[in-house]
Structures are given as C-alpha cells and as structure tokens.
Amino acid sequence: MTDTRTSVLITGANKGIGLAIARQLGKHGYIIWLGCRDVSRADTAVQRLQGEGIDARAVQLDVTDEMSVAAAARTVGQDNGGLDVLVNNAGLMHAPPPSISEESINEIRQMFETNVFGALRVTQAFLPLLRRSKGARIVMMSSGLSSLEDALDMRSETWDVGFGGYCASKTALNMLTVKLAKELDREGIKVNAVDPGLTSTDMTGNGPGHSPEMGARPAVALAMMHAFGPSGGLFACSTQGELVRKNW
C-alpha cells in the first residue's frame, strides 16, 4: 500500500545543505529518501535523522551512473509508490582555477556530468513517480554564480569571481530548469532553481559563509510551495527568510 505522507528524494544528502534540507523537511513530516553514492555514509545520516524522530531512508544513487539512478527509482517506486518532491542537490566544484583560459577541460566536463547531466538524468528517471503526485515539486540546486546578468554587472558581488567551468554548469542547469518548468506546467509540476548563498560546507572548504541550515531554506520553501506558487524561476532567501526571485 502506498504511504499517503509526502515523500521527498534528495540527492547528495548525507551532509551539508542536502542533509539540512532533509532535516528541515523531515521535521514537517515528510518521508525522506537520502540518495547518496556512499551507502555507508547515507546510513549514518539516516540514523542521525531517525534519532530526531524523522522518517528517513537511504538509497544508493550516483547521479553520474545511469544504472544506479534507474535502480534508485525502482527502489523508491516499489517502497513508496510515488514521489512528491525531488531535490537535485548533488553537486561538484573543483579547486579555484587560475583563469578560464587555463581551466582544465576534464574538470569542467566532470562538473557538467554531475551538475547538469546528473540533475537531468535523475529528473528523467523519477518523473514517472513524480507524475503520480497531485502536485509534485522539482528543486534544482543552482548558485548565485550562475547569473549571466550579475556576471556582467561591475556592481555585482560576483563580478570578480572566477570558477568559469562551475559557473557555466550552473547556468546550463538554469536553462534546463526553465525548459522543464514550461514542459511540466500543464501537469501541475513546478520546477524551480535555488541559490543557497555562500554556505560553509565541505565543497567550499568550510570557509566563510552561513550555515547549511540557512543555505537549505530556499529549497525547503520551494519544496513545500502551494499550488499558486511560481515555476521556472531562480530563488534565494532574504535575511527575513522570504523567497526572493533572482536574475537569471
């Protein structure tokens, strides 16, 4: 029998922003599926969440591996019957390159494989389950560095930021977000991207930035968004916790 409680799959969810999203949605009563490459790390995260009273479950999922993604979709479908929310959180960023003119093509390819193709691969695989929901939500973990408008604005805080390959991958993800939002609109499936802001995580070297709990807020808000909410946008959270639309 299909569980009637709202279910969510979060990729790359054993730590950082992904784990914070899982915890916050779990406290709202969602069934949490942690999709992780390393099952042992996922199991550790599941135990932590279960200790907090959250219904959390682990599923092996490598977003760069088609067979892994397909197997994860079968596991969730067999256990849960459907899926209400998909959060494509898994991401990859390499160390700062000297400049885009010297950046490694191989590293850029790896980032696109995870940040762009991985997100689309997972979305395509889980769409049959999302279509069983009365109002599914898809959330893409983008970045403030994805904005073409801000990248060309000398007044923007991102004007002097490098990371050409990483920024390009997130810009490409934004386009997929828009295309999916347009395609799925008639089915009531809302698709949005989020900018978590500068967040202190392992991916950023645990440097300056706010906590993963703060970075998780826009994704959580869009995952729980009502039927009249937006679709096809890039959003962040204000200091007051309200969703704010950002420039593409």
Contact, 196 vs 141, CB < 8 A? yes
Q: What angle do CA 156, 178, 89 make, to 5 degrees?
A: 75
CA 185 to CA 166: how far, in whole Å? Answer: 28
- The answer to whether 166 is a known catalytic residue is yes
Q: Which of 30, 170, 190, 246 is catalytic?
A: 170
Whether 170 sits among the annotated catalytic residues: the reply is yes
Which of these is catalytic: 166, 179, 190, 246? 166
> Which residues, at least 6 apart from 228, have a Cβ–Cβ distance to it below 8 Å?
none
Q: What is the Cα–Cα distance from 79 to 100, expressed in whole angstroms?
A: 45
Rounded Cα distance between 229 and 58, Å, is: 30
- Residue positions annotated with a catalytic role: 166, 170
